[in-house]
Structure 1
């Protein structure tokens, strides 16, 4: 009898037993892991079962703070997987983050799985999603990342918690000396990798195919996904990758020595006394450490070239073809940054545009102005928006798909998401009316559309057009996860990036060339 068949027998037996015991237990489902017996909850209207808060590593507390994640411990009896568990240590920063976590703690290394109840067609493709939040916030319990709708469309969906801020990305000479590989930092990325390894080992029990795992994420999650494609222990596990706004091919990674120096400054700043050792820092309670780090200005730390997870700079690893050469679906939103970030309170005109560029590019502001042309206030707003979007995150996303396409053989698909999200409900804005002033799709606006979660996230005034855009965007994503290609006969054709084209995702999708974009990014990178 195969492993899948054996698991099915266990599932069926336990399910029937539950039905006999109590009518209250009919809407549950059981799986048996090496860690122990797990009870999930069926969502009958979708035909999906969810398993929440599954530990994939030991809690990184006490002596395990700032260490690579350790294998999880088994539990006794039946673990009730209907609680998302704790979100990782973070401050409340972003109003669009709606958590369902039961609290906050360092004990947060859990993942959540949604899978179809009936799966007679055999093992299903898997989506492993990493949340965004600048490596300082976010959680797998957020409504917008809910995996139920994706699972109802035949994709086993997983969201992963990983350490954030100083808990997830602190590098320090003492940590490097004790690590066994001469580096430190990247604990949040190592958490993601440990979850990916856990999924590869266990997802078949949930109906998933371990050979068809697509990793994905938005913002910091997209940066993470791109970084995972460069990590030696992650590469063999990845069948495809989706990146929504961001990559490691930008300003989001630092050399080890630089990160270690920052770690020393952090230790000196947050420790009240002469002892600024790692041992002393590990004795500070998590809530107090978070508060001290925030007060001292060390809330956000970036990934590091640590010699274990990242062996070298991302640029060199791509050039040396040391990456997962798998299909990529990646892109950015049309308003990742805003024109106000450039103009501030000044009037939008050409004079102020050039003055602002001169502040950013003293020796090349005229060249930059030529790359982002505009004459009227409306044109200048869009030009400034494009520039600030590129500086923030769009250029790094482009650099990733360009490097992967130039050095690999797998097809890539690039998009610009350009559907303006509706206004937030006033109840979530302090009771005040919310006016839409966006000139495009703001950072993170695409998440609910791609994952089919408009009805799960209640904070916006979704309209018919939003559901139409979501239907198309989600189907592209589902096709890509299942086949490595977003296309089918029911959708507008999405040419591969190798044809020098991208898809504009909006109410009426449109294919456009990328040569002007390529020229812009090549020129920008030379400044």
Structure 2
């Protein structure tokens, strides 16, 4: 639906029924959704051309222009994905290859303002997620004086397939990493257009959780994006993990093998396959997992090498993880969490290094073993990579690093949820109606901090939030907002959060009902886990 004739006439006279109601970007004019309190949201804004047809598996191209005022009041389609995670709640309608849209929430009254900008990348393992998820909604951050942006990017086989023919046709002699290239293109778009929304194009902070945090570590390392940033926030995860990233050659062979499973012998045939058929093929048993690679273009070298050489974006970094990123069954399977079962699992994983591991992950009692199994599972899953990122940046960037440990367990679920139990990423599973209600988690599970950090507790109807939860959210969001504005999380009314020190990796801010500054308790564990 086009803007009304009256609104158009006001625009032509240089007026507007609402301040910032219509903005002009590279492709044309956009009309906003007006939110109470002076916030305006621009949803479903195209930042690149639809990556369909011949543009499937190509670097993002400039968005097409439009002639009339485009209503920016609905989220664009989400990237192609299977229904994987139970905690994802989408406000977009359906999946599509035509997914390269972003959303902007602005508190600015005029385009002459220069507000700090937050660009947030969603999580979901590079196989799921969307900028429309309520937990990432930018309205609350906009009320803190920040122009907030969420970005859709390609996922799974559509976002990360590498193939020799793709590499050959590429002017960059690379393939894969299309999802990361989408993010970089979105950052370029923000740099070029955010002033129209009252944002400061020279003050862009990027943030994300899980795969979004991996993305932040990647954009900081890439020559395509690192010079666009003034700060970065990483919540649980980075590309500096325990396992080396696949090379382009390795990923190409994975792509060739996948093409064979769907019965295609050429790139043209692959591009001709229906998107849904490709998507369903990735969900079959034994299908490969497509993710970020060292492609020689977006990532000229491995992130570990880039950070070790100090060639990443040299900007302040706020980074941390949660107290229970993973649970004991990740290591133990269906075996009970006893001391003996944990020792057996460590022996199987580490062989002649098992005794060393057990010194730092002790198992003298069953209770201690369950906690050690939880810690080791969390470290192997995501905590180590986040620590390594923080530590390398601290060693080579010359910029402050602020480390947190998020420790507030979610409260009990609302009575309406019955006997549901929480899953890995905050998703829920409903069991037998006669079964007892599961107790709250012992720690802060993976993804639990998102709604707190972005001020969006009310968007999650699963949990019975308490006044203490709202206080934690107020505190955490204040730290984040201060960092986005100044590169320093500290501010009036907050416990002083000192930057980490290169020699020790600490101190660490423990975020809970009563925040505390603590020495780093985990450095020895991560040094032990370092690949030899």
Residue of structure 2 equivalent to 1:412: 401
Structure 1 residues 152 and 14: alpha-carbon distance in aligned structure 2, compared to 1, 3 A threshold = farther
Q: How does 1:301-340 map to 2 (within 5 A)?
A: 301-340=290-329
1:497 aligned counterpart, secondary structure? coil
Alignment of 1:501 with 2:507, yes or no, is yes
Shift of 1:299: 5.9
Contact 2:324 2:446 in 1 (8 A): yes
TM-score computed with the length of structure 2 as normaliser = 0.91
Structure 1 residues 28 and 98: alpha-carbon distance in aligned structure 2, compared to 1, 3 A threshold = farther
Structure 1 residues 93 and 380: alpha-carbon distance in aligned structure 2, compared to 1, 3 A threshold = same
Alignment of 1:348 with 2:353, yes or no, is no
Structure 1 residues 11 and 222: alpha-carbon distance in aligned structure 2, compared to 1, 3 A threshold = farther
TM-score computed with the length of structure 1 as normaliser = 0.92
1:113 aligned counterpart, secondary structure? strand
Residue of structure 2 equivalent to 1:3: none
Shift of 1:117: 4.3
1:325 aligned counterpart, secondary structure? coil
Q: How does 1:462-501 map to 2 (within 5 A)?
A: 462-498=465-501, 500-501=506-507
Residue of structure 2 equivalent to 1:134: 125
Q: How does 1:418-497 map to 2 (within 5 A)?
A: 418-425=407-414, 426-427=416-417, 430=430, 434-497=437-500
1:511 to 506, 517, 521: 517
Alignment of 1:217 with 2:208, yes or no, is yes
Shift of 1:401: 0.7
Rounded to whole Å, the distance in 2 between the matches of 1:120 and 1:234 is 24
Alignment of 1:109 with 2:112, yes or no, is no
**Root-mean-square deviation (CA), in Å?**
2.2
Contact 1:135 1:300 in 2 (8 A): no
For residues 415-458 of structure 1, the C-alpha deviation after alignment (integer angstroms, 9 at most, x for no partner) is 11000012344447559575234220000000000000011222
Residue of structure 1 equivalent to 2:22: 30
1:141 aligned counterpart, secondary structure? coil
For residues 243-299 of structure 1, the C-alpha deviation after alignment (integer angstroms, 9 at most, x for no partner) is 00000111473111111111111111122xxx4211101000111110122225336
Residue of structure 2 equivalent to 1:153: 144
Rounded to whole Å, the distance in 1 between the matches of 2:344 and 2:440 is 24
1:525 to 510, 519, 530: 530
Alignment of 1:188 with 2:179, yes or no, is yes
2:321 aligned counterpart, secondary structure? strand
2:47 to 49, 56, 59: 56
Shift of 1:17: 6.0
Contact 2:111 2:196 in 1 (8 A): no
1:229 aligned counterpart, secondary structure? helix
Residue of structure 1 equivalent to 2:422: none
Rounded to whole Å, the distance in 2 between the matches of 1:110 and 1:176 is 26
Rounded to whole Å, the distance in 1 between the matches of 2:20 and 2:308 is 49
Shift of 1:351: 1.6
Residue of structure 2 equivalent to 1:377: 366
Structure 1 residues 414 and 285: alpha-carbon distance in aligned structure 2, compared to 1, 3 A threshold = same
- 389-398 vs 453-462, which moves further: 453-462
Structure 1 residues 374 and 15: alpha-carbon distance in aligned structure 2, compared to 1, 3 A threshold = farther
Residue of structure 2 equivalent to 1:267: 259
Structure 1 residues 121 and 375: alpha-carbon distance in aligned structure 2, compared to 1, 3 A threshold = farther
Structure 1 residues 327 and 12: alpha-carbon distance in aligned structure 2, compared to 1, 3 A threshold = farther
- 346-355 vs 217-226, which moves further: 346-355
2:458 aligned counterpart, secondary structure? coil
- 435-444 vs 236-245, which moves further: 435-444
Rounded to whole Å, the distance in 1 between the matches of 2:111 and 2:284 is 54
Rounded to whole Å, the distance in 1 between the matches of 2:375 and 2:128 is 26
Residue of structure 1 equivalent to 2:193: 202
1:295 aligned counterpart, secondary structure? coil
Rounded to whole Å, the distance in 1 between the matches of 2:288 and 2:517 is 40
Shift of 1:340: 2.3
Contact 2:156 2:290 in 1 (8 A): yes
1:236 aligned counterpart, secondary structure? helix
Shift of 1:300: 2.7
List runs of 5+ in structure 1 lacking aligned partners. Answer: 1-9, 20-25
Shift of 1:513: 0.9
How many residue pairs get aligned? The number is 508
For residues 151-170 of structure 1, the C-alpha deviation after alignment (integer angstroms, 9 at most, x for no partner) is 01101000000000000000
Residue of structure 1 equivalent to 2:168: 177
Structure 1 residues 136 and 493: alpha-carbon distance in aligned structure 2, compared to 1, 3 A threshold = same
Contact 1:270 1:293 in 2 (8 A): no
- 124-133 vs 114-123, which moves further: 114-123
Rounded to whole Å, the distance in 2 between the matches of 1:15 and 1:378 is 72
Shift of 1:15: 10
Rounded to whole Å, the distance in 2 between the matches of 1:161 and 1:439 is 33
Shift of 1:374: 3.7
Structure 1 residues 33 and 177: alpha-carbon distance in aligned structure 2, compared to 1, 3 A threshold = same
Alignment of 1:285 with 2:277, yes or no, is no
Shift of 1:14: 6.5
